[in-house]
Amino acid sequence: MSDVYIIGGGMHPFGRFDKSYEQIGSEAAALALQDAGVQWRDIQSAFMARMYLPATSGPRILRKLGSTDISIIDVEAACASGGAALRQAVLAIKSGDVDLALVCGTEKMPRGFMDPSMIYSPWQVELGISQNPSYWAMRAMRHMHEYGTTEDQIAKVAFKNHKNSVHNSYAMYQKEFSMEQILGSTLVCDPIRLLEICAPNDGAAAVVVASEKKMRQLGAKGIRIAGISHSISRYSSDFRCPAESMSATIDNLGPTEVTAQRVYEAAGIGVEDIDCFEVQDTDAFCEIELYEELGLCPVGEGGRLIDSGEVAIGGKTPVNMSGGLISKGEPIGASHLGQVVELVNQLRGNCGPRQVEGAKVALGHVLGAGGNCAITILSR
Amino acid sequence: MAAERIAIKEGLFAGPLDRLDEVHLAGSRCGACGETSLGATSSCSNCGDESLSPVVLSDAGTLYTYTIVRHRPPGNYQGPADFKPFGLGLIEIDDVIRVMAPLSTDPEQLQIGMQLKFHPYVLRTNEKGEEIVAFTYDAVGE
C-alpha cells in the first residue's frame, strides 16, 4: 500500500474569539488548501473532528468554501478526535477510495470547567466527582507517592511550556512565567495549579493529505505519515475515563503505552528515532507521566527527565515546542491537528526561534476521556 | 410516615435504605473472570459475561490516591451552597476494587494509605418527596 503524505497545513489561532465556529473552522481549512496549492473542488473526501459542536458541523463549516457533494463526516473521540479523523483520511487514501482529502478540527467552547454532563453520570455530577482536573491530579498524587516526583518537577514542565509559547503566535498565552509565579498560582486540584493546567477554548487546524501518486502529480513536497494509531483504554487501565471504580487485581497497560506500541511497530520506528514531540499536557504532571509511557525514560523517572533539560528546545528530545496545551489551550477537536501542523512546520524547518535543529521524525500525542488516545508519527 | 428513600444510583447499595447503619456498597462478582464491578450490574465490566453474583463490599477501605477539589464542581453539584474544598479519593476495598468517592474528612489531613470507613447519608429530597441516599468516606476514628 502506498504511503500517505501531508501536503499542506493551516491553523486558526487557539484562544477566545468573537466569531462563529463556522468562521474559525473554514479559515483554517482555507489556509491548509492554500498551503497545499489545491482548490476545495479538488478535495474528494473531508473529515471534521469536533466534540462540543452540533451535528453536521463538518458540512456547516466547509460549505463556506463552496457547495459540494463529497462525503464530509464529523468524527468524535474526545481529546483524540483529531487523531481519529486523520486516521480515517489515511485509511480512505490507503484503501484507494480517494487520492486527496481534507482533515479539519474545530472547536468553540465556554470558559471554565468543561460541561460535566458530556462524560459523567448524573449521580457523579451531584456528588462533585465530575471535575476533569481532579482525575489527573489523583494520578499525580499517586506518582509522587510511589516515585518521589515533586511539585517543583511538575512546575518545571509548566515553566518550559510557557517559555516555549513566547514564539508561537497561534498560542492563547504567549507569556513566560517564573517558577515562583507557577508555584504561587492557585491550587485547582492538589497538587495541580492554575498555571499548570490547560484551558478549553476556541480554535481550528487543518491538513490536506494525499496519496504518493497524487502528491507527485501536483509536484508537491509532502511530509510522510509514518504511522497513526488510535485506541481506547483497556479495562481498568486509566481512571481518567472517568471511572466509577477500578480493579485492584488487574494492572493493564495504559492507553498511551498501548497506542505507542502499536504505532512504533507499524511505523518501524522506535522512540530513539524521534527528534521532537508534541504531547497532551492537560496538566503539567501528565507530561511527566507521558515521558515514561512513550518510552523517553523508564517508569518513575519522568521527574528526573524534566530536571535533566533533555526535553527543552536545544535538548536531546524536545517536548511541546509549541508551548503545549498549557499555553495554546485545548479546543478539543482541533488540538491534535494543531500538533500535527506544528510538527509539519518543524519538519519543514519553518519554526524560527522554536525550531528543533535538523528534525526529521516527529510524534504527536493526545489522550482524554474514555482513555481515547491517538498518536501520529511524521517523517520528512 | 418516614419518606421513601432511593439510592443516588440504582443498585449502588446493599441493605435497607431506611436503616442506614445496615447499608453497604454493593458489588457484582463475575463467574467467568472473577472481577468485581461496582453496584448491581447486568454484565461484567471486564469480560462482558452475564453470570454475576451479588456481593456486599466491606465498609473498610484504604486511601489509594486522592486530590482536594478547591473550586465548586461544574453543573448540578448538590454539595453545600457555601462551597467548601473537599477530598476526592480512590478507595481500595477488600483487595479487589478501588472506588471513586468524595471524602468527608478534613482535606488537609488526607494521606495515601490512611484507613477509611463507608458512610451512607441522605443527600437531598427530590421533587417526589423521596430522600436520595448518597455516600462518602470518613477517616477511621472520626
CA B43 to mean position of chain CA atoms: 20
> Average pLDDT of A120-141?
91
Q: Which residues, 6+ apart, have CB-to-CB distance to A44 below 8 Å?
A: A70, A98, A99, A100, A101
Residue that the C-alpha cell 477566545 belongs to: A16
Question: Which tens digits make up the pLDDT trace of A4-25?
Answer: 999 999 999 999 999 999 999 9
List the one residue out of B105, B112, B114, B95 whose CA is nearest residue B35. Answer: B95
Residue-level pLDDT at A116: 83
Grid coordinates of B16 = 435497607
**Cβ distance of A138 and B65 shorter than 8 Å:** yes
Answer yes or no: are the C-beta atoms of A61 and A55 closer than 8 Å: no
Residue-level pLDDT at A291: 98
Residue-level pLDDT at A119: 84
**Cβ distance of A131 and B69 shorter than 8 Å:** yes
Residue-level pLDDT at B1: 61
Residue-level pLDDT at A198: 94
Question: Which tens digits make up the pLDDT trace of B83-118?
Answer: 999 999 999 999 999 999 999 999 999 999 999 999
Residue A181, class by beta-carbon neighbours within 10 Å (0-12 exposed, 13-18 middle, 19+ buried)?
middle
The pLDDT of residue A253 is above 80: yes
Residue-level pLDDT at A111: 80
For residue A101, what are the β-bridge partners? Answer: A45, A209
Peptide bond into A242 cis (omega under 30): yes
The pLDDT of residue A318 is above 70: yes
Task: Tell how many helices (H) and how many strands (E) occur in chain A.
Answer: 13, 12
How many beta-carbon pairs under 8 angstroms link A with B?
Answer: 134
Residue-level pLDDT at A115: 80
- Which residues of A are known catalytic residues? 79
Grid coordinates of B61 = 477501605
Residue that the C-alpha cell 453543573 belongs to: B75
**Cβ distance of B78 and A187 shorter than 8 Å:** no
The pLDDT of residue A240 is above 80: no
Per the prediction, chain A carries an average pLDDT of 96
Answer yes or no: are the C-beta atoms of A247 and B90 closer than 8 Å: no
For residue A102, what are the β-bridge partners? Answer: A46, A208
> Average pLDDT of A329-348?
98
The pLDDT of residue A241 is above 90: no
Dihedral angle over CA of A336, A341, A346, A349, nearest 10: 180
Residues 39-68 of B with CB under 8 A from A: 39, 45-46, 64-68
Best of A113, A135, A190 to substitute, by most chain B Cβ atoms within 10 angstroms, is A190
Q: Where does A101-131 have alpha helices with state H? A: 122-127
Query: Looking at the complex, does the CB of residue A185 fall below 8 Å from at least one CB of chain B?
Result: no
Dihedral angle over CA of A165, A132, A241, A305, nearest 10: 40
Domain ranges in chain A are: 4-111+202-224, 118-198+226-379
Residue-level pLDDT at A130: 86
The pLDDT of residue A239 is above 80: no
Q: Tell me which H or E stretch contains A136.
A: helix A132-147
Residue-level pLDDT at B2: 80
Cβ-Cβ contacts under 8 Å, A145 against chain B: 65, 112
List the one residue out of A307, A26, A281, A317 whose CA is nearest residue A165. Answer: A281
Q: Which residues, 6+ apart, have CB-to-CB distance to A189 below 8 Å?
A: A131, A133, A134, A136, A137, B67, B68, B69, B70, B88
**Cβ distance of B134 and A126 shorter than 8 Å:** yes
CATH architecture group of domain A4-111+202-224: 3-Layer(aba) Sandwich (3.40)
Cβ-Cβ contacts under 8 Å, A245 against chain B: 37-38, 97-100
Answer yes or no: are the C-beta atoms of A191 and A144 closer than 8 Å: yes
The pLDDT of residue A242 is above 80: no
Grid coordinates of A84 = 481519529
* Cα A6 from Cα A90, distance rounded (Å): 10
Cβ-Cβ contacts under 8 Å, A126 against chain B: 8, 76-78, 123, 132, 134
Q: What percent of chain B has pLDDT over 90?
A: 94
Residue-level pLDDT at A332: 96
Helix (H, G, I), strand (E, B) or coil at A333: helix
> Average pLDDT of B119-124?
97
* Cα A282 from Cα A279, distance rounded (Å): 9
Residue-level pLDDT at A132: 83
Higher confidence at residue B131 or residue A114? B131
Residue-level pLDDT at B141: 76
The pLDDT of residue A1 is above 90: no
Confidence bin at A360 (pLDDT 50/70/90): very high
Higher confidence at residue A110 or residue A58? A58
Domains A4-111+202-224 and A118-198+226-379 share a fold: yes
Query: Looking at the complex, does the CB of residue B100 fall below 8 Å from at least one CB of chain A?
Result: yes
Question: Which tens digits make up the pLDDT trace of A67-91?
Answer: 999 999 999 999 999 999 999 999 9
The CATH number of the structural domain formed by A118-198+226-379 is 3.40.47.10
Question: Which tens digits make up the pLDDT trace of B41-51?
Answer: 999 999 999 99
Q: Tell me which H or E stretch contains A357.
A: none
Cβ-Cβ contacts under 8 Å, B97 against chain A: 245-248
Q: What is the ipTM of this complex?
A: 0.95
Confidence bin at A98 (pLDDT 50/70/90): very high
The pLDDT of residue B142 is above 90: no
Half-sphere exposure of B6 (CA within 13 A, CB side): 10
